[in-house]
Every structure is written in structure tokens, then in C-alpha cells.
Amino acid sequence: MSEMNQLINEQLQWFVFGFVVIMLVLIVTVIAQGAKLRTIRRKYEAMMAGSGVEDLEGLLVDLKNQSDMLEEEQREQKALIEATQVKIRGMKSNIALKRYNAFGERGNDLSFSVAILDDNSSGIVLTSLHNRENSYIYSKPMQNGESQYALSPEEKEVITLALQQK
């Protein structure tokens, strides 16, 4: 044991010097970490200023709730747009008109056919045949591009013209 005491006494100056160096390194590290912590604290306070929230957790919860509300509203808007698109496709928006002389030399271009169709080729074809004595109006329903009634060449032409507007 005395040998150990003697060794420590001889090397005591080096032990003290080593501990002083370690202490200086630790002090510098603590000062550097304190500076970083102050910088982070300032950024945190700047971020939280004016938010009306006391802590970061509350802010994150509020942001999550807002995000969920926005996603729900977006889903509702998407459903509304899809419903509107379906409704628009069903609207009778393809319209064409053709005037012609149905009776050759005895009339003039007062006869006409009108096709009013949707994007599915469903709708109606109206035909008015006019001569000097009478005027006749015919209506023929269309379902998926077909009619259960015979179509005249003028009606077929006006249907083709209406469908070209898609």
C-alpha cells in the first residue's frame, strides 16, 4: 500500500493536470451546448409567438385537427364534383338542327329536324314537316343511340351532327 501511495505522490502533478484538462473540455462543451440551447429556445419562442398555444404539443394537435378537417372537406368536395360530372353527362347538351324541304318542289325549307341528346346518345329527335296546307310535328325518343321508331335520313343526319359536338 505504501508503494501505491508513493506512486500517486510522484505522479500527482500529472493527475491534477489531466483532471484540469478534462474539466476545461467539459466547461467548453457545456458553454457550447448552452449557446445551442439558447438558439433553439429563441426559434421555439418565435415559432410559438402569436399562435395562442402554450406548448408545441398543443400546436401539433391543433395542426393535426385542421389537417383532418381539410381532408374531410376535400373528400366532400371530390364527391360533389363527381356527382356534378355524372349529372352533366346526363344533361341534354348535344343539340343540332337541320332545315330542309320535305316535299320537294311544292314547299320550301320550313321543315326541320332537331336532335337533343346527352353524352350517352339518349334524348329526343323532333321533326316538323311543313307544307302549304298542314304542318306535322313528330317526336322520337332516343336511348343509347337507338330509337324504337324508324328514323328518316334527315333525322339520322341531325343525330350524327349532334353527336359530333361531344
Degrees to nearest 5, angle at CA 91 with 89 and 93:
100
Cβ atoms of residues 138 and 151 within 8 Å: no
Indicate the pTM of the whole model: 0.52
Instruction: Quick: pLDDT tens for 76-102.
Output: 999 999 999 888 877 778 899 999 888
The tens digit of pLDDT for each residue in 116-127 reads 998 888 899 999
**CA distance readout (Å), 139 to 43, 120, 155:** 75, 19, 11
Domain layout of the chain by residue ranges: 1-49, 54-89, 94-163
Least confident segment among 17-26, 139-148, 157-166: 157-166
Does residue 62 register a pLDDT over 90? no
What are the CA-CA distances from residue 14 to residues 7, 8, 19, 129, 155 (Å)?
Answer: 11, 10, 9, 121, 112
Residue 74: pLDDT band (50, 70, 90) is: very high
Residue 101 vs residue 140, higher pLDDT: 140
Which residues make Cβ contacts (< 8 Å) with residue 114, sequence separation at least 6? Answer: 95, 96, 97, 125, 126, 127, 158
Statement: residue 105 has pLDDT above 90: no
Alpha helices in the chain (DSSP H): 2-48, 56-89, 153-163
